[in-house]
Structure 1
């Protein structure tokens, strides 16, 4: 069975998929057997034949040059760019925890490391009408340690501290923070980094600038040690 790491974020559109891709690519480039998994993915385009393209999974697969099949990366793919619980209400095919467990463990049995990406923030509802599942329930069920992705800019202190406090209350282990869209030397962003560390007690593990193709300051060996 694999060692695993969950990628959560302070909200949506803050770069979880990009950071997940960097994590996967770093391990893959170091010769490690790594895979990607995301339980539910919304906001996807269709192929000419009408089938949905799991866009986040495709990005990671191509960015990290994985041979892993797209079909194994995500069991629930939706077209509407809304929370998965609403997308499934509109489109049908609601998320079932037993399917998430089964498909995750199928990936886990085949690889040494699995990077699991969340949908939105940690409280995001994945299913609601048929079976009440929030993202935190998946993290707990699969027993995943987490890292938090945050935008480096204005407002991040509040969102980082609130996400940290919620996960601490729910006893979901956090290994550290990844700052995305970081501008080294920027007074505010450097202070955001310092304040987030002081107010949460978590380390900022990497500060990622737009266009980075590797994780600054985090070699593969140190990255792999975050997995459990």
Structure 2
């Protein structure tokens, strides 16, 4: 059975998939057996035969070099670029927890480490009709420790602290923070790093600049220790 780590973010479009890809790449290049999983992804393009391309999974597979099949990475793939619960309603394919459990456990049984990426921020609903399923439900169901991805720029202190406080209230353990779009020596972003650490008590594990192909200050051994 694998050790796992959940990747959440302060919101959407802040680079969770990019960071997840670098996490997978770091472990894979160190010789560890690592896989990727995302319960639901929306906003995907179609192939010429009409089937949907799981874009986030494809990105992670290509940047990391892992051989894991795309089909095993995500059970629910939607076309509409909206929250998964709404895309599922529009496309008539609601998320089912039993499917997530089955597919996730299949990946866990086949690999030693699994990077699990959320959809949007931690409060994002995956299903909201007669049944309610949120990302927090998945984190809790599988006892996943989490890392929080945040943009390094203006406004990040508020987003980081609010997410931290919400997850603390829900008893969802956070292992640390990773900044994306970081500019070394930028006074504001250095201060954001410092303030986020002081206000949450969490370490900023890595500050990733645009185009980085590796995780600064987060070697494979240190990264692997975050997984449970």
Q: TM-score range by the shorter chain?
A: over 0.9
Is residue 133 of structure 2 the alignment partner of residue 133 of structure 1? Answer: yes
Q: Which residue of 1 aligns with 2:173?
A: 173
Q: Which residue of 2 aligns with 1:225?
A: 225
Secondary structure of 1:149's partner? strand
Residues in 2 aligned to 1:100 and 1:145: alpha-carbon distance in whole angstroms: 18
RMSD: 0.4
Residues in 2 aligned to 1:207 and 1:76: alpha-carbon distance in whole angstroms: 31
For residues 1-228 of structure 1, what are the structure 2 equivalents within 5 Å? 1-228=1-228
Residues in 2 aligned to 1:226 and 1:21: alpha-carbon distance in whole angstroms: 16
Gaps of 5+ in 2: none
> How far is the alpha carbon of 1:142 from its aligned partner?
1.0
Residues in 1 aligned to 2:187 and 2:146: alpha-carbon distance in whole angstroms: 28
> How far is the alpha carbon of 1:166 from its aligned partner?
0.0
> How many residues align structurally?
228
TM-score by length of 1: 0.99
Secondary structure of 1:176's partner? strand
Residues in 2 aligned to 1:55 and 1:131: alpha-carbon distance in whole angstroms: 27
> How far is the alpha carbon of 1:130 from its aligned partner?
4.0
Residues in 1 aligned to 2:103 and 2:124: alpha-carbon distance in whole angstroms: 20
Secondary structure of 1:205's partner? strand
> How far is the alpha carbon of 1:146 from its aligned partner?
0.1
Residues in 1 aligned to 2:130 and 2:46: alpha-carbon distance in whole angstroms: 26
Q: Please list every run of at least 4 consecutive aligned residues from structure 1 whose deviation after the TM superposition is greater than 2 angstroms.
A: none
Gaps of 5+ in 1: none
> How far is the alpha carbon of 1:219 from its aligned partner?
0.5
Residues in 2 aligned to 1:131 and 1:72: alpha-carbon distance in whole angstroms: 24
Secondary structure of 2:183's partner? coil
Residues in 1 aligned to 2:219 and 2:67: alpha-carbon distance in whole angstroms: 22
Secondary structure of 2:119's partner? coil
CA offset digits 1:1-21 (Å, max 9, x no partner): 000000000000000000000
Secondary structure of 2:90's partner? helix
Q: Is the 8 A contact 1:205 1:217 kept in 2?
A: yes
